[in-house]
Amino acid sequence: MTGTQVCMEFDGKTFERNMDGQRLRTQLEQVFDLMKDASWRTLQEIALLSGCPEASISARLRDLRKAKFGKHNVNRRRRPLHDIFGVWEYQLLTAYNGLY
């Protein structure tokens, strides 16, 4: 994520820097590095490619929308799957990929 984040400091009620800091930074970098190509992916696809849990990916995508993590555009849309529209997919738009 070189040059894309404003501040890599996480916070929150249950956040403990010594237990969670490096893990969350690593997840954020993994999700960003995968998604910076602006491809559409589901949480499951991101999990398979990054090795991160789906719930963590969802949280990191929300983090990427925050000013302190770059205020990136994270788009979402429903992906039709056998005429069922219950699966969401995500796309990251950044200054890095020139789409932001």
Report residue 4's pLDDT band, with 50, 70 and 90 as the boundaries.
very low
Residue 71 lies in a domain: yes
Q: Rounded to whole angstroms, how far apart are CA atoms 44 and 51?
A: 10
pLDDT at 3 over 50: no
pLDDT tens digit string along 10-32? 755 555 667 666 778 889 999 99
Residue 40, class by beta-carbon neighbours within 10 Å (0-12 exposed, 13-18 middle, 19+ buried)? Answer: middle
pTM: 0.81
Residue 12 lies in a domain: no
Number of folded domains that form the chain: 1
Contact 47, 92 (CB under 8 A): no
Would you call 80 helix, strand, or coil by DSSP? strand
Q: Residue 74 maps to which CATH number?
A: 1.10.10.10
Could you give the residue ranges of the DSSP H alpha helices within the chain? 17-35, 43-50, 54-65
